[in-house]
């Protein structure tokens, strides 16, 4: 699968960030076509010390083609503009190919 990853550093105002993220941003993201699965990650700590990121949100697509179609959609344009409005300075976006492996023992 292909996934779009948003890594967030610690917001200056955590409460305002959480409010906007949960009530405005996620509903906009969920309208983007072609997203098969999302995974929301809250960092607890790092074995090396404080985690360098606050949270991560991953959006999974079936293929590069469906990812590219999603990026061109009007819904993505709106979600992207919203992202820049509240998280421009703390977000890192990356695109990746991803491979899952269920481990059975």
Residues interacting with its own copies, by CB under 8 A?
Answer: 2-3, 5, 30, 33, 35-48, 51-53, 56, 71, 92-103, 105
Work out how close the CB of 75 gets to its own copies at its nearest, in angstroms, rounded to a whole number. 12
Minimum CB distance to its own copies smaller for 12 or for 103: 103
**Kind plus residue range of the DSSP H or E element containing 61:** strand 55-61
Work out how close the CB of 16 gets to its own copies at its nearest, in angstroms, rounded to a whole number. 22
Minimum CB distance to its own copies smaller for 12 or for 44: 44
Minimum CB distance to its own copies smaller for 13 or for 52: 52
Minimum CB distance to its own copies smaller for 23 or for 47: 47
Q: Which two three-digit tokens encode residue 22?
A: 């949960």
DSSP 21: I
Picking from 25, 9, 1, the residue whose alpha carbon sits closest to that of residue 80 is 25
Picking from 13, 6, 2, the residue whose alpha carbon sits closest to that of residue 67 is 2
- Dihedral sign for Cα atoms in the order 4, 89, 30, 42: positive
Work out how close the CB of 12 gets to its own copies at its nearest, in angstroms, rounded to a whole number. 20
Q: Which residue in this structure is represented by tokens 């890594």?
A: 7
Work out how close the CB of 20 gets to its own copies at its nearest, in angstroms, rounded to a whole number. 19
């Amino acid at each position: 699968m292909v996934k779009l990853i948003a890594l967030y550093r610690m917001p200056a105002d955590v409460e305002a960030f959480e409010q906007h993220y949960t009530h405005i941003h996620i509903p906009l993201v969920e309208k983007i076509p072609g997203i098969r699965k999302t995974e929301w990650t809250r960092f607890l700590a790092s074995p090396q010390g404080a985690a360098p990121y606050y949270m991560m949100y991953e959006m999974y697509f079936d293929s590069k083609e469906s990812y590219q179609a999603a990026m061109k959609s009007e819904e993505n344009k709106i979600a992207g503009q919203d992202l820049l409005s509240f998280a421009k300075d703390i977000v890192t976006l990356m695109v990746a190919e991803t491979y899952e492996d269920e481990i059975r023992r």
